[in-house]
């Protein structure tokens, strides 16, 4: 054999080996090694990047990949990729032919045989190999998790490249000030990021438990290995996946009004093993209309404040509000047991609500992801259970505030009684709202107004006994204005406790023994005077003497 023939023969062998290597490498993609890593679908107003769409691919394997074996599909349109050997842990930018030069300065950039435009929302991008999908992303503009970034100029980035699921939990808007990270690691890259599995709904029926998670059961990598166990009760003897729901069968019967703890072990989602999961379950009878009532609404908050809706358990049984909705907004995906006669204020910012209403009961405030928009003039508040059954609804109007209320900003409307649907402005003495506790305008069912002192003596000496004078009142109607003042035995005004405040139906005022200027008052006799009047012309005066003793003032 001549030298030239030997060289030719060797070249043929080498090319054959390379071709086989390419075939093996491309076949490896079926395990998800080549992934869609970043999408720029709406480059309008992009900060610093070229104003073109792009798709970034990432080789998440240990072998070089020949892209010639890959087909790119955008919705129903397919286009082929050119021959390009993508090394392990490297990126390549796919873009239109007109944009290749602009993106080349950011990294490897190539153009498919044809570029199909990417919709701003509601589109699917796939990578196929021999008609087998090796990666897929069906994105929506809600994946940005940012109302401003969804308007354009920002890319969507993948968080964990090891996830093999096409779900929004693994995507979010880039944090890069340039608008994206083509050709380099994502700003939100995190290989420790795991699926956040949440139980969004469940049903109990005798010995059957049907579970619905926020991640469809179709994403479970292995449905044969998970172990489902209710603590101190039973381990599921079998389970099946039907319509993306998991149905567990137990040997024992599940009991009503019983709190259970479900433990899930050995569960693999999106190709990632999860740690042990624990979910609370409460087997309750069907929730009836009016079992939970809308108790209070703040729709016109203070400057820098937030809306809130307060609900009240009007039944004699605890109720799990998991999966309940205000309008179309889920109250909570987590287990939350609302106790009988418990108030619960729902708001998007608990910290701000507590700052603006210091008397709020913090334990009865639940921070939610979102509330429906409640206009300042009028609107409707609706509460549905987890089966989309209407539990309560209230129409509100700004005119429902009291006639004497001059400024309603930051003032809530409170339900007066759980036997009817009358609402009235919250007392300004209570701070304008009562999130998490009894409404200031609650109907008391008393025959006449009562205004009285808790004690006829006070001793502000810091010993914890009668350190403050307590003035208490109970009124038949909430439409009274109240003025309360302290005078000394010579008839001189010492302290004004309230002046033309909206009283509600009940409340209290305190005097700490100091005058208008913050000075401690002398021991002696004083008089507390109260005046109340309403728009119906009803007025009432109250005078009660009392004694201040053991004052901190020296004589």
Same domain membership, residue 454 and residue 518: yes
Residue 219: C-alpha distances to residues 122, 124, 161, 271, 420 (Å): 20, 17, 16, 8, 48
Report d(CA 106, CA 104) in Å as an integer.
Answer: 5
Q: Are 113 and 96 in contact (CB under 8 A)?
A: no
504 lies in some domain: yes
192 lies in some domain: no
Domain count, the chain: 4
- CA 394 to chain centroid: 23
**Residues, the chain:** 555
Going by the DSSP 8-state scheme, the letter that residue 520 receives in this structure is: B
Same domain membership, residue 38 and residue 165: yes
232 lies in some domain: yes
Q: Are 504 and 476 in contact (CB under 8 A)?
A: no
Entry pTM: 0.65
Per DSSP, helices labelled H in 410-503 are none
pLDDT at 454: 95
pLDDT at 21: 38
pLDDT at 273: 87
16 lies in some domain: no
From first to last of its 555 residues, the chain has per-residue pLDDT tens of 443 434 334 433 333 333 333 333 333 333 458 999 999 999 999 999 999 999 999 999 999 999 999 999 999 999 999 999 999 999 999 999 999 999 999 999 999 999 999 999 999 999 999 889 999 999 999 999 999 999 999 999 999 999 888 889 999 999 999 999 999 999 999 998 888 888 888 888 899 999 998 888 777 766 667 899 999 999 999 888 877 789 999 999 998 888 899 999 998 888 888 889 999 998 877 788 889 999 999 999 999 999 999 999 999 989 999 999 999 999 998 889 999 999 999 999 999 999 999 999 999 999 999 999 999 999 999 999 988 999 999 999 999 998 778 899 999 999 999 998 999 999 999 999 999 999 999 999 999 999 999 999 999 988 889 999 999 999 999 999 999 999 999 999 999 999 999 999 999 999 999 999 999 999 999 999 999 998 788 899 999 999 999 766 544
Task: Please give the backbone phi and psi of residue 352, each rounded to the nearest 5 degrees, phi first.
Answer: -65, -40
117 lies in some domain: yes
Same domain membership, residue 317 and residue 269: no
Going by the DSSP 8-state scheme, the letter that residue 316 receives in this structure is: S
Residue 292: C-alpha distances to residues 101, 296, 533, 555 (Å): 62, 12, 34, 59
pLDDT at 220: 75
Structure token digits, residue 424:
């009235």
The parent domain of residue 270 ranges over 199-283
Please report how many Cα atoms fall inside a 13 Å half-sphere around the Cα of residue 298, on the Cβ side.
Answer: 27
Same domain membership, residue 498 and residue 365: no
Report d(CA 398, CA 405) in Å as an integer.
Answer: 11
Same domain membership, residue 414 and residue 296: yes
146 lies in some domain: yes
Q: Are 161 and 270 in contact (CB under 8 A)?
A: no
Q: What is the CATH number of the domain that holds 64?
A: 2.60.40.1260
pLDDT at 15: 36
Same domain membership, residue 380 and residue 308: yes
- CA 288 to chain centroid: 26
Report d(CA 491, CA 524) in Å as an integer.
Answer: 13
Same domain membership, residue 256 and residue 355: no
Same domain membership, residue 541 and residue 412: no
State the DSSP string of 375-398.
-SSEEEEEEE-TT--EEEEEEEEG
Same domain membership, residue 389 and residue 254: no
């Amino acid at each position: 054999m001549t030298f030239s023939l030997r060289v030719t023969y060797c070249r043929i062998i080498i090319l054959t080996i390379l071709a086989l290597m390419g075939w093996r490498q491309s076949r490896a993609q079926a395990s998800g090694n080549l992934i869609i890593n970043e999408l720029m679908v709406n480059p309008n107003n992009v900060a610093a990047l070229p104003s073109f769409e792009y798709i970034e691919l990432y080789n998440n394997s240990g072998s070089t990949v020949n892209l010639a074996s890959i087909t790119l599909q955008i919705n129903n349109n397919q286009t082929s990729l050119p021959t390009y050997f993508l090394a392990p842990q490297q990126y390549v930018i796919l873009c239109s032919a007109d944009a290749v030069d602009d993106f080349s300065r950011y990294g490897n950039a190539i153009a498919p045989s044809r570029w199909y435009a990417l919709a701003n929302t509601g589109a699917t991008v796939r990578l196929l190999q021999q008609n087998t999908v090796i990666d897929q992303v069906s994105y929506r503009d809600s994946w940005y998790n940012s109302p401003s970034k969804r308007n354009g100029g920002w890319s969507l980035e993948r968080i964990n490249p090891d996830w093999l699921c096409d779900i929004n939990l693994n995507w979010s808007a880039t944090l890069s000030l340039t608008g994206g990270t083509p050709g380099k690691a994502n700003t939100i890259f995190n290989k420790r990021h795991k699926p956040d599995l949440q139980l969004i709904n469940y049903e109990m029926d005798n010995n059957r438990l049907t579970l619905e998670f926020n991640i469809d059961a179709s994403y479970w990598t292995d449905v044969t290995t998970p172990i489902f166990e209710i603590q101190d009760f039973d381990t599921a003897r079998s389970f099946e996946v039907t319509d993306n729901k998991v149905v567990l069968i137990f040997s024992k019967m599940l009991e009503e009004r019983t709190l259970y703890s479900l433990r899930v072990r050995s569960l693999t989602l999106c190709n990632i093993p999860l740690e042990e999961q624990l979910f609370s379950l409460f087997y309750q009878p069907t929730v009836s209309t009016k079992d939970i009532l809308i108790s209070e609404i703040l729709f016109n908050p203070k400057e820098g404040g937030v809306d809130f809706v307060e609900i009240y358990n009007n039944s004699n049984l605890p109720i799990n509000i998991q999966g309940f909705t205000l309008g179309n907004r889920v109250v909570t995906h987590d287990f939350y047991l609302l106790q009988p006669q418990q108030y619960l204020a729902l708001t998007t910012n608990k910290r701000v609500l507590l700052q603006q209403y210091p008397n709020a009961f913090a334990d009865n405030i639940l921070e939610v992801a979102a509330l429906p928009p409640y206009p300042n003039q009028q609107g409707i508040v609706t509460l549905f259970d987890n089966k989309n059954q209407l539990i309560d609804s209230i129409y509100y109007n700004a005119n429902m505030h009291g006639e004497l209320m001059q400024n309603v900003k930051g003032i809530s409307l409170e339900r007066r009684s759980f036997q009817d649907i009358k609402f009235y402005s919250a007392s300004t003495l209570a701070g304008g709202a009562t999130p998490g506790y009894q409404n200031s305008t609650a109907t008391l069912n008393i025959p006449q107004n009562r205004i009285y002192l808790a004690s006829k003596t006070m001793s502000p000496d810091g010993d914890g006994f009668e350190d403050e004078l307590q003035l208490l009142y109970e009124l038949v109607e909430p439409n009274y204005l109240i003025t309360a003042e302290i005078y000394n035995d010579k008839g001189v005004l010492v302290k004004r406790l309230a002046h033309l405040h909206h009283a509600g139906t009940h409340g209290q005022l305190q005097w700490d023994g100091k005058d208008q200027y913050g000075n401690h008052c002398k021991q002696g006799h004083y008089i507390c005077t109260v005046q109340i009047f309403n728009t119906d012309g009803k007025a009432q005066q109250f005078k009660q003497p009392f004694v201040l003793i053991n004052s901190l003032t020296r004589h």
